[in-house]
Chain A
C-alpha cells in the first residue's frame, strides 16, 4: 500500500472533522449532567448523592457541573432545544424564573416513591425541594467576644470596619435585605426601610463581596469578622480550620427552599428521574444531614439529629415556626429595580 504524506494528511483532517459531528460516531449512553451549587453542596453531592443515584442506574455516568442558579438559567436559555444540563438546582427566585420561561418539565409525581413523604411546603410538581438553605449570622469567635444575637447587631459601633455583606445579585443578599425591611415595617414588595438602614451600615462595612463564595473567603483572610451567612457555606471553612461560627438571630433565621428540576428537552429523563428520586429518599437525606455536610432535610421520614437539630430545629414542625420564609413570587417582580437601586446606593 502506498502511504503518501498527502494521504495521511487527508485522513487526519477527515478524522478531526468528524469530531465536529458527535452524532455521527457510535451511539453511546450520554452522561447525565447535574448542575449543582458550587462549594459545600458540590462536595456533599459528589460524596453522597451521586453514588446513591448510580446504584439505580446501569451504564450511566453522572457529571457534576457546578454553577450558581442564574448561570444555569442562562446556559439552558441559550440552548433550549439541546440543553447542556439535564438536572438543575435552583434557589427560590431563579426557580420561579425557570418555570415561567418554560425551561423545566413537570416531575412525574405519580411514579415517585418519595414525593409524598416530603413536607407539604417542599412539594411542587414543577420541581420538588430537596433541602433548605438557612441564612443567619456568621462570625469569627476569636475576634468577637460575645456572640451576636440579633440581625441589628451588625450596626453595633464596636464592629466598625468589620462587617461584610454581599450585593443583591445572590439569593443571600436579596433575602437579607428583604428580611431587614420586614423587621422595620417593610414587606416582601417594599424594602425601602432596608435601604435606609444600609446607609447607616456603611461606616461599619469592611467589604461588599461580589458573591457569597467571596464572602466566605473574606473570613479566611480576616477581612471581615461578622456577616449574614449561609449555614452550609461555613461548614467547608470549619472543616479547613478557619475560626467561624454560625448563629440563628433571635428574630429568626431565613430559610430558602432549594428545588431540583428536570430540564425540558433533556435526552436523559429517566436518569434525571432516578437522580431526583435518590435526592428525595430518606437514606440520602439522612446521610447529608450528618456532619460535615449538615444539609437540612425536607423528607418528613428523616428524624432531625446531630448539629442540625441542636443549631437549627429539633423537627420539621419547629423548623416551620422558627424559620422566616419569604414570598419569592413577589420579590422576583421587584428584584431588578432593587438591584439597580443597590448599585447606586452602595457606591462609596
Chain B
C-alpha cells in the first residue's frame, strides 16, 4: 500500500477561503466601487471621465489640505514620541506596583470613548477652562489665552488622545532590551547620555517605528478631535471629505479625494516600513 504524503510544512490555502471571501466582499468590492464612483465628472454619477482627479491636482485646495493634514500628523507624532518615550522609560524602570499603576493610567484612555476624552480637552483648553483659570489666578496673564481652536491646542489634545498608541509598543520594545548591554556600555566608560544615544535608542527603534506608524495613522484620520478642538477654521482631510459627501452631495469628488488620501497614507506607511526594515539591522546581534 502506498501511503499518501502531504507536506506538513505548508498550509493549505482552502482554510483561508471563508475569510478571503469575506474580505473580498466587504473590503475590496467597496473600494473598487469607490474608484468607479470617482471616475465620473458630475454629481449625478452619469458622465464618465477623469474630471475629478483633474480638479484635485489642478485646484490647489485639496492638495494643500492633504499636506496640512500630513504635517499635523508629523507634528503630533513627534510630540507623542517625546512624551511616550519618557512614559515608557518610567514604566520600565519602576517597581512592580508602580508598573501596575502606570499601566492602568496608560491603558485607561483607550477604554474611554474618544468623544468623551475630546470634550475633556475642550473643558481644559476653553476660555473658562482649567489652564486659563490657573494662569489668571496666578496673575501670569490678564486675558484668557486662546487655546481652543488653535493649532497648538489641537496638537496637544491629539498627542494626549493618541499617547497610548505610542507608549504601548515602546514599553514592549524597552522591556525586551537586555539590561546587560547598558551595563556593559557604562562599564566601558560611556556616560548616561552616550549610553542612551548609542545603545538604547538604536535598539528601541523598531518600537519607535511601530508606535509612530500607529500614532500617525490615527492622528490624520481623527475626525472627532480635529473638529471639536480644531474648530471650523482649520480644515483637514476627514472633515473635507465629509463636507463634500454629505453637505454638498458631491460623491465623485469626495471619492476622488478619499482615494488620493488613501494613496498618500499608503505611501507614508510604506516609508515607515522601509525605515523599520533599515532599523532591524541594529537589533541583530
Task: Report B136-160 CB contacts with A as 1/0, cut-off 8 Å.
Answer: 0000000000101100000000000
Quick check: is A310 within 8 A (CB to CB) of the other chain?
no
Quick check: is A214 within 8 A (CB to CB) of the other chain?
yes
Contact of A167 among B61, B122, B232, B248 (CB under 8 A): B232
Q: Which residues of B contact A142 (CB under 8 A)?
A: none
A161-B146, A336-B248, A340-B61 known; A207-B243 Cβ under 8 A:
no
A3 to B243, CA, bound (A): 56
Contact of B247 among A70, A205, A214 (CB under 8 A): A70
Contact of B246 among A70, A166, A167, A210 (CB under 8 A): A70
Within 8 A of B (CB), among A61-78: 70-71, 73-74, 77
**Whose C-beta in chain A lies nearest to the C-beta of B126?**
A221
A221-B122, A336-B248 known; A210-B234 Cβ under 8 A:
no
Quick check: is A97 within 8 A (CB to CB) of the other chain?
yes
Q: Which residues of A contact B243 (CB under 8 A)?
A: 169, 339, 343
The reply to whether B233 and A346 form a contact with Cβ atoms under 8 Å apart is: yes
Number of A interface residues in the complex (CB < 8 A): 30
A167-B232, A343-B235 known; A207-B248 Cβ under 8 A:
no
Quick check: is B249 within 8 A (CB to CB) of the other chain?
yes
B44 → chain A closest CB, angstroms: 9
The reply to whether A169 and B148 form a contact with Cβ atoms under 8 Å apart is: no
Within 8 A of B (CB), among A206-229: 206-210, 214, 221-223
A335 to B127, CA, bound (A): 33
**Whose C-beta in chain B lies nearest to the C-beta of A169?**
B247
Quick check: is A26 within 8 A (CB to CB) of the other chain?
no
Quick check: is A344 within 8 A (CB to CB) of the other chain?
yes
A51 → chain B closest CB, angstroms: 31
Quick check: is A347 within 8 A (CB to CB) of the other chain?
yes
The reply to whether A208 and B233 form a contact with Cβ atoms under 8 Å apart is: yes
Task: Report B31-66 CB contacts with A as 1/0, cut-off 8 Å.
Answer: 000000000000000000000000000000100000
A246 to B126, CA, bound (A): 23
Task: Report B270-284 CB contacts with A as 1/0, cut-off 8 Å.
Answer: 000000000000000
The reply to whether A348 and B233 form a contact with Cβ atoms under 8 Å apart is: yes
A221-B122, A223-B127, A343-B61 known; A207-B247 Cβ under 8 A:
no
The contact size tier of chain B is 20 to 34
B68 → chain A closest CB, angstroms: 9
The reply to whether B234 and A74 form a contact with Cβ atoms under 8 Å apart is: no
Task: Report B222-261 CB contacts with A as 1/0, cut-off 8 Å.
Answer: 0000011001111100011001011111100000000000
The reply to whether A97 and B232 form a contact with Cβ atoms under 8 Å apart is: no
**Whose C-beta in chain A lies nearest to the C-beta of B231?**
A207
A170 to B243, CA, bound (A): 10
A206-B146, A346-B232 known; A221-B247 Cβ under 8 A:
no
Task: Tally inter-chain residue pairs, CB-CB below 8 A.
Answer: 70
A169-B243, A340-B61 known; A73-B249 Cβ under 8 A:
yes
A206 to B150, CA, bound (A): 10
Quick check: is B99 within 8 A (CB to CB) of the other chain?
no
Quick check: is B128 within 8 A (CB to CB) of the other chain?
yes
Contact of A336 among B148, B228, B245, B250 (CB under 8 A): B250
A335 to B247, CA, bound (A): 10
The reply to whether B232 and A209 form a contact with Cβ atoms under 8 Å apart is: yes
A345 → chain B closest CB, angstroms: 10
Task: Report B83-107 CB contacts with A as 1/0, cut-off 8 Å.
Answer: 0000000000000000000000000
A206 to B233, CA, bound (A): 10
A169-B247, A339-B243 known; A207-B228 Cβ under 8 A:
no
The reply to whether A221 and B250 form a contact with Cβ atoms under 8 Å apart is: no
A222-B126, A222-B128, A223-B148 known; A210-B247 Cβ under 8 A:
no
The reply to whether B249 and A221 form a contact with Cβ atoms under 8 Å apart is: no
Q: Which residues of B contact A336 (CB under 8 A)?
A: 248, 250
A23 to B231, CA, bound (A): 44
A344 to B65, CA, bound (A): 10
The reply to whether B61 and A222 form a contact with Cβ atoms under 8 Å apart is: no
The reply to whether B234 and A97 form a contact with Cβ atoms under 8 Å apart is: no
**Whose C-beta in chain B lies nearest to the C-beta of A97?**
B249
**Known A210-B231, A221-B122, A223-B149; further 20 A-B contacts with Cβ < 8 A:** A70-B247, A74-B246, A97-B249, A161-B146, A166-B232, A169-B247, A207-B231, A208-B232, A210-B227, A210-B232, A221-B126, A221-B127, A222-B126, A222-B128, A223-B126, A336-B248, A339-B243, A343-B240, A347-B234, A348-B234
Across the A-B interface, give the 8 residue pairs with the lowest CB-CB distance, nearest first: A208-B232, A169-B247, A167-B232, A221-B126, A222-B128, A208-B233, A210-B227, A210-B232
> What are 5 A-B residue pairs whose CB atoms fall within 8 Å in the complex?
A70-B246, A221-B123, A223-B126, A339-B247, A340-B61
